[in-house]
Each structure stands twice: as C-alpha cells, then as structure tokens.
Structure 1
Amino acid sequence: MAVAAPVGTAEGAGEGSGGMWRAATAGVIAAFVGFASSFAVVLEGLTKVGASHAQAASGLMALSLAMGVCAILLSLRSRLPISIAWSTPGGALLAGSAIPHGGFPVAVGAFMVTGVLIVVSGLWRPLGRWVSAIPAPLANAMLAGILLPLCLAPAQAVRSDPAIGLAVVLTWAVVGSVRKVYAVPAAVVVAVVLIATTTHITTAELGPMWPHPVGVVPHFTVAAVIGIALPLYVVTMASQNIPGIAVLGANGYHPEPGPLFGWTGAFSLLSAPFGGHAVNLAAITAALCAGDEAGPDRSRRYRAAVTAGGVYILLGLAAGAAVALVNAAPPHIIEAVAGLALLGALAGSLTAAMADPGQREAAVVTVVVTVSGVTFFGVSGAFWGLLAGGALYAVRHWQSRRAPDTAPARRIAQGGKVPEPDRS
C-alpha cells in the first residue's frame, strides 16, 4: 500500500514515555467514544431490519472485531494512524427502514453487496468518482432525512420517562458545554447507571461476555439491493470514507485512498455473514488518533490507532452484555442516546444540504421524501428521496443552462430591448 510520509518531526524526535502514554490514551479515548457514541444506533438498525437479539449481538461483535483488526493491520503496515469505524450513518439508515421481505437474511445479502461495492471503489477509480459526483447537497439531504426521525427520540424519551430522559439529556448538554467529544459517552454512562439501578437484570440475561457468532446465510433480492445496499454504500462512502481521508489530510497524512477503501470493503464482507452492515474509515475519532492528542511525533501516532483497534476488539467481546442492557432499558431511552449522538451529524448535513440557494429546493425534496418513509416495490424511502431530489436537481440545472440563451427573446416578447453589445 503506497503512502506518503507524514510531515512532522524525525523518527523518534521528542519521543519518550510521555509520547507513548499520550498515544495509548488517545487510542483508548477514541475507541470508547466511537463505541459508546453509536453502538445504540447500530443495534437499533440491525433490529429494525429483522435481526434477533442473538443476531444483533453477533453483528455488533463482528463489526467491533472487524474494526479492530482492520485498524491494527492498516496502521502497522502504513505507519499511519488509520482509524476504522462502523458506518454510523448506515446504522441510522437501517434504523429508519422496515424488515425486508425475506427477513434478516435479505438484509445480510444487501450488506454483502455494499461490501463488494466498497471494494470495487478501491480497485476501480471510476466508481469512486461517480459517488463523489453525486451533488453534495443531495447526499447530505438524504443523510439528513435518514437522521431526522432518530433525532426526535430524546424528546420522546423525556415524555415517556421524564426522570431518566431528562438526566440523560441534561448530562449530554452540561458535559458538551465543557468538552463536546465526551458529551455522548457521558450520557451513555448515566443511562447505563440509571438502567442498572432501576431495572432488574439477572446474570443469565446479560449472557456470556463472549457472544456467540451467529452465521446468517445471505439471500439476495433486487429490492434489497436498491433499497438497502445502494443507499448504505452511498452514505458510507460520502459520510465516512471520503471525510475520513480529508481528516487524515488535514493532519498531514496523505495515504492512497483506493487501498484503504478496498480493505474496509473486504472487512465489511467478512463481517456481513455474522450480521455486520459495514466498516469504513473513521472521521471524528480519526482526529483523536491523528491529532496532537496522540503525541508530538507524527511518525509515531499510528500507535494510537493500533491501541484503538485493540480496545475495539475487547469491547466487541462484551457485545452480548450491551444488547441485554439495551433490551432491558425503558422505552426510548437507548434511542434517545442514539439521537443525541446524531444531532451533530444532522446539523452538519442540513447545513451542507441548504447552503446553495440554487439547489435548496431539490435538497428539501430529498429530505421530505426520505423522511416520509414511502416504499415502492419494497424499496425504502432513502433511495426514492435521492431519486426525486436528483430529478428536480437535473431539471433546475437544465433550466439554468438554458436561461442565458432565452433571456433576450423573453425581453423582446415583453416589449423590451436587447442591449447593444459593448464594442469598446
């Protein structure tokens, strides 16, 4: 895998036990923040497309192991801080979906198609360029439409269980005002403590710390490929892989994107038969491993990503307990944590979708159709939202290109005069 060397101090310069400790600490924090901030989103998504409790635990474990092993492998090979995460926007997409006809095996088949598409994006550059060519306002609008229903959960939690709901939301708000990156993990800790102290959970319900992998024989349908696989691929590439490369570049690291995409697609394929939907380059947590928090020597910050990978593997072994805790929680509490985790992503996607006034109408159509949840031929609203917004975007773009040619004729028809050309 060809990579460009990071700009920074010479190998070993300024390095010592303090640098090693900072890298390890940054890795642990990155893994905990990444897991705690979005595991509820992933579990909600897997459950909504038909996974049983055992299958959801298996999927969470498979994703955690894939993230961990992939991060360790890529970081050690490249000596760059390559952070890996599961597709949080993809989990949100699944959480807004319905159980496909044929159940979870059909969803697993769609996960495998997504993995293949990510691999192909790494091997065949035109596909990656096509994804990048999707107008950014439409891609962000589709993501906003996917996230919006989930972001309503905190308000619903306060209504259904005011004591726990308010405690979780207030913790998120207070901690976020001090250090934003710790807001959701702090809310998770408070939710776990309150659930554990107000709900009776037996040791048997928690299950083994090492969850049993549950293999699922995939089943492939055209509706699932169009309604699940393609939107999952688009949001994973547009919202995770491409921003992940940008975060690395902003910190002075410039790896070749293709091999990284290919490897994350391969690990997505490996996790799919056990319930994992997709893994990809990290964006937010990548900044923790690639930034100054990971130590002064840029050439050694890869150890933060390696540490994060090891912690993800350990967290994956507790997936059974995480699922049991989610199942024991009062209604809307875990969804509230997921909604709080996604508020920042919703704000960013809405801002980007509405930034260009000329494309705002198409973006609004994309959001509205996606949020509506309409399904045709078994295909979910995310695809139809992107299609409807894309159609309007194409019409408006065509009209804007014709406008300069038809303007003089329109003024003549209205009794006006065509201005003389400037001959100076």
Structure 2
Amino acid sequence: MSRPIVAGIVTALVGFTSSFAVVLTGLAAVGASPAQAASGLLALSLLMGLSCIVLAWRYRMPITVAWSTPGAALLAATGLVEGGWSAAVGAFIVVAGLILLTAVWPQLGRLIARIPPSIAQAMLAGVLLPLCLAPVSGVVTNPWGVLPVIITWLVFLRLAARWAVPLAFVAASIVVGVHLATNQTVIDPTTLIPAFELTVPTFTVGGIVGIALPLFLVTMASQNVPGVAIMRSYGYEVPWRPAMFVTGIGTAVAAPFGGHAINLAAISAALAAAPEADADAKRRWVAGVSTGATAVLLGAASTLFVALVLLAPAAVIPAVAGIALFSAFGSAVQQAIDDPGERMPAVVTFLVAASGVAIAGVSAAFWALVVGLVVRLALHAGRRG
C-alpha cells in the first residue's frame, strides 16, 4: 500500500503549499491578526485532516477534504465588514450551519445547483481577478523578489505542472531566506509554537450577507458540487449527507479559532482518486487517510508559514497567492462565457464582483450575484426554452 500512502502525502503537500498563502491573505483581509490567522490555518489543517481520515476510513473511498480556497479569495476581496474580525468569525459559524442544513435538507444543495453556473463562475472570476494581478504588479514593485517565483512557476508548469505552484512557493521561501540573512533578522523560536486563538463571534448583517452567504455559495458551487462530480468520474459515489455533516461540523469547530470553511476537495481530489494512486480502486482509500494525516502534520507548522508571510519582502507572497489562483481564474472565466446566451449576464456579474465596491456594508460578491441574476432575468424573461 505504499503507492496510495505516497499519493496521499503528495495530495496534502500540493494542496497546502499551493494555497495556504491565499488562506492567510483572506483571513488577514477580514481583520485577523497574525496570531489569529495562524490559529485559523492550524484549525483548518487539523479539521480537514481529521475529516479526510474519518470519511476515507468509514466509506473506504479516497475522499479528501480541503479548505475553501475560493472562499479565502472571496474574503480577500471582501475586506473588513461591520463588526470586524469577530463578525467574520460569526459569519464562518453561519456558513457551518448552512453546510449542516444541506446535510439535513438536501433540497438546499439542489437549490444552489440551480444558480446558473455562468453567474456563479463569473462572480468567482471577479473575486479572483485582483489577487491574480498581484504577480504582475509585483514585478514592478519588487522585480528581484518576484521574478524568481514567476520563472520557477513557468519552468515547472512545462516540466511538471502538478508541482509548479508548490515549487514557486519554495522559490519564494528561498527569496525570504536570502532577505532575512541579508538583513540579519533573528526569529524568536518561541513564536513558532502553534497555538489556538479563540474569538468570541458576533453576528452582523454585513457579516452574514456580505461574507456568510457568498462564502457558502462559493464553497458549494466551486468545491462541494465539483468535488462530488470528480469523484464520480473515478467511480466513487460520495455519500452526500455524511460528507456535508462531517465538513459542516468541522467548519463549526474551526470557526471560533479562525477557520473560514472546509469542504470536499475538487481539483486535488483527483490526485488521491486517480489510478496513479493505486491500480486497485478498492485500495485507494488509504490515500485519503494519508492525505488527512499529512494535513494534520502540516498544521503543526502553521506559525512557521505565517512567519514566512510576515517576514517576506514586498510583493513576494501576494505573487505566490496570485499564481496559485491562475488555474481557478482561467476555469471560472471559461465557464462564465462558454454559453453565448449567458455571456452578457456573466460579464456584468464579473465586472460588479471585480469592482470590489461594497454597498450598505455588503460586499461586491453578493451584489454581483444579485445584479447578474437580475440582468439574466431581464434578458430571458418570457422567452421559451
């Protein structure tokens, strides 16, 4: 069973190193301090790891669970809401409740599936755009720090695409190391000990409407629903209710410690479920357990990753985060404009989301959905088909 074990380790490493910078960026944007962001990263890693182990072991499938990377990008685009960090934590708890509701009432999941994919993906693309521009602006701001990251990514995108983003992170780590050595920066080892930071949640209209609802929709539409479809393509029928129950409970436990959401893995799910993990489909569940165990170990280094972000020279970490989202952005744009009949509502949705303009304390992502659906209704109302 060494092959599925290795496949699980690779799945966790690729998933973590490819997107942890996005998670930290999102948590910081909605008000988390460095210690609170580290706590959130630790909580998410532990809960998604334990969820992987529980689901894979119980159902003998390579089910993998991840944090919501599109959700973290949404947080980065949303920024502070009324009530600050505690309101964001309250929103995370609401998201957990909504995920659990989909386990009890599957019709909610089907209702979300009725949102036109072009609108949902256009909103996601608009949210991702500012983050994806960071490598471009970073080349101007700090060329010597950002160019090695971009070049590494480009080289390995050609040679070993799966490792392109993780190795771009390695390049960024080297840049940070050189920067620290040049400036003779000394790090206190006691600051690298992982710790939980408990936040008492508050519930505000801005937090619920501006964070919770868009975060729930993005997590469901961009992670859970595609995650089930990807697993089905490899011959596995993910048990919907148990999966939503486990990830909902996991999100609820992680929320007070700063974790925004966990969900079924989508793109990275293929690493553990594909034949490359093991020729025998009945043994690939071991890869799910291995993924979970590795995620727990990576979580123990959460404060180290936060320290890298804090000590990095200007523009380096945002460049890594942007590169990590290129694939998701490209996929979202393609799905948004694929149907010519849905293109105009999708374009409007994209532009509103990308504007970042908050109205009445509610984020642009929410208004993008509203405006996109209104434009679609205006264009299609009364038409047959």
Q: Same fold (TM over 0.5)?
A: yes
Deviates more, 1:234-243 or 1:209-218: 209-218
Distance 1:308 1:98 in 2: 31
Aligned pair 1:355/2:351, yes or no?
no
Aligned pair 1:312/2:295, yes or no?
yes
Partner of 1:114: 95
Partner-residue secondary structure (3-state), 1:203: coil
Partner of 1:181: 162
Q: CA offset at residue 142 of structure 1? A: 0.3
Aligned pair 1:264/2:272, yes or no?
no
1:65-109 CA distances to partner (integer Å, 9 max, x unpaired)?
A: 001001001111111111010000000000111211211000000
Q: Kindly provide the amino acid, as one letter, of the partner of residue 45 in structure 1.
A: G
Aligned pair 1:171/2:171, yes or no?
no
Q: CA offset at residue 223 of structure 1? A: 1.6
TM-score w.r.t. length of structure 2 = 0.97
Q: CA offset at residue 243 of structure 1? A: 0.7
Partner of 2:265: 282
TM-score w.r.t. length of structure 1 = 0.88
Q: CA offset at residue 399 of structure 1? A: 4.7
Distance 2:293 2:239 in 1: 24
Distance 2:287 2:126 in 1: 34
Q: Following TM superposition, where does structure 1 have runs of at least 4 consecutive aligned residues deviating by more than 3 angstroms?
A: 206-210
Aligned pair 1:215/2:211, yes or no?
no
Distance 1:148 1:207 in 2: 37
Partner-residue secondary structure (3-state), 1:96: helix
Corresponding residue to 1:152 among 128, 133, 143: 133
Aligned pair 1:21/2:2, yes or no?
yes
1:334-369 CA distances to partner (integer Å, 9 max, x unpaired)?
A: 111010010011010000000111111100000101
1:144-194 CA distances to partner (integer Å, 9 max, x unpaired)?
A: 000000000011111111112111001001101112111000100010011
Asked whether the 8 Å contact 2:81–2:210 carries over to 1, the reply is no
Partner of 1:81: 62
% same residue: 48
Partner of 1:128: 109
1:239-277 CA distances to partner (integer Å, 9 max, x unpaired)?
A: 000111011101111122122122111100110000000
Q: Kindly provide the amino acid, as one letter, of the partner of residue 167 in structure 2.
A: A
Partner-residue secondary structure (3-state), 1:284: coil
Corresponding residue to 1:241 among 224, 239, 248: 224
Corresponding residue to 1:191 among 172, 176, 180: 172
Distance 1:329 1:119 in 2: 38
Distance 2:77 2:113 in 1: 24
Distance 2:329 2:77 in 1: 14
Greater radius of gyration (CA):
1
Q: How many residues align?
A: 382
Partner-residue secondary structure (3-state), 1:254: coil
CA RMSD of aligned residues (A): 1.2
Corresponding residue to 1:339 among 322, 325, 338: 322
Distance 1:308 1:254 in 2: 19
Asked whether the 8 Å contact 1:176–1:183 carries over to 2, the reply is yes
Distance 1:210 1:217 in 2: 23
Q: CA offset at residue 280 of structure 1? A: 0.3
1:21-45 CA distances to partner (integer Å, 9 max, x unpaired)?
A: 1111111111010000000000000
Partner of 1:70: 51
Structure 2: stretches of 5+ with no match in the other structure: none
Distance 1:32 1:138 in 2: 32
Corresponding residue to 2:24 among 16, 21, 43: 43
> 1:4-15 counterparts in 2 under 5 A?
none
Aligned pair 1:224/2:229, yes or no?
no
Corresponding residue to 1:100 among 81, 85, 92: 81
